[in-house]
Amino acid sequence: MESQFVDWVLATIGTDSRLEVPAGDDAAVLRPPAMRRTVLTVDMLTEGIDFLLGPKCSARAVGHKALAVSLSDLAAMGSKPEAALVAVCLPTRDGAAIGRGLLEGLQALAEKYNVIIAGGDTNAWDGPLVISVTAVGSVSPGSAWRRDGAKPGDLLLVTGALGGSLLGRHLAVEPRCHEAMFIAERLSVHAAIDISDGFSLDLSRMMAASNSGAIIRLADIPIHDDAVRSSKLAGDTRTPLEHALTDGEDFELILAMPPDAAHNLIALVGTAPISIPITIIGEVTQGAGLVAIGIDGTSAPLKPQGFLHVFDPPSP
């Protein structure tokens, strides 16, 4: 029964001093940190589109991913994670067991990033699992990273390595919150975005918001081993580089930074918490569009590609 499940959830998540009114009431009341601005983001995951429950994808993994992708959005804003609200539409078949698995995944990640699970909502239906997470973060006034601040002459950097995420990394998302907060406290970042739909597509969105273009050096794109493995699968005709440019679900960060700040960041790689690779892959330019410099030195337009949800056109 729903009431028993909700009682179990409330007993499991506990409370936190940051909540003036804890989960269990009509709404939670969060005490915002002094002199900070509130950052809000929401992501919804649907079975059959974002994951397939089964032997290779547990409910716990779905819970982890659902929170992780929202925390990745907070990282892209240079913000500190604070709290999350979770809404689920559970299948009537095995709904309680699925719900318990979801909470296990949510809580494990929440504890890692000191995030409060502040409440949410549950429904049941004869359809697939749907989960939506609203995450709350905080930043100092005027310091939130945005997509629209890239300036010509900025260097473009990317965290981690790209491509082949559907071999399993799309479920084991590691949001770059610690790295983002470390960078935000020390260095100037003019613009940022996380890679959810594909490197080239998300980069084009940041450049369009900034009314700028970009030159990308393809030889410098960090290619994940999974992209290499994906390119070798039967029927796959794409190169590892093409996977890195278009696959999406990497949830790494693209940063536009002044050259001095970019080089200072590269010098910090290997010091806690910057334990992941960070690579300079190009620069921001005047004008619009993306240009790729090939391994042979030739240049050509780079077409933004990645994942887009498709909707039927409106009825006439």
Mean predicted confidence (pLDDT) in 72-98: 97
Sign of the alpha-carbon torsion through 138, 160, 253, 260: positive
State the fold for domain 155-301: Phosphoribosyl-aminoimidazole Synthetase; Chain A, domain 2 (3.90.650)
1 pLDDT above the threshold of 70:
no
Residue-averaged pLDDT of the chain: 95
Do the beta carbons of residue 42 and residue 134 sit within 8 Å? Answer: yes
The pLDDT tens digits for 101-141 are 999 999 999 999 999 999 999 999 999 999 999 999 999 99
> In this predicted structure, what is the pLDDT of residue 127?
96
User: Where do the domains of the chain lie?
Assistant: 2-139, 155-301
Do the beta carbons of residue 166 and residue 249 sit within 8 Å? Answer: yes
Domain at 2-139: CATH architecture = 2-Layer Sandwich (3.30)
Mean predicted confidence (pLDDT) in 216-233: 98
The pLDDT tens digits for 288-298 are 999 999 989 99
Do the beta carbons of residue 104 and residue 63 sit within 8 Å? Answer: yes
Torsion angle (degrees, nearest 10) of CA 74, 248, 169, 294? -110
The pLDDT tens digits for 158-171 are 999 999 999 999 99
Q: Model-level pTM greater than 0.85?
A: yes
The pLDDT tens digits for 27-42 are 999 998 999 999 999 9
> In this predicted structure, what is the pLDDT of residue 316?
75
CATH fold match for the domains 2-139 and 155-301: no
Torsion angle (degrees, nearest 10) of CA 265, 136, 206, 202? 100
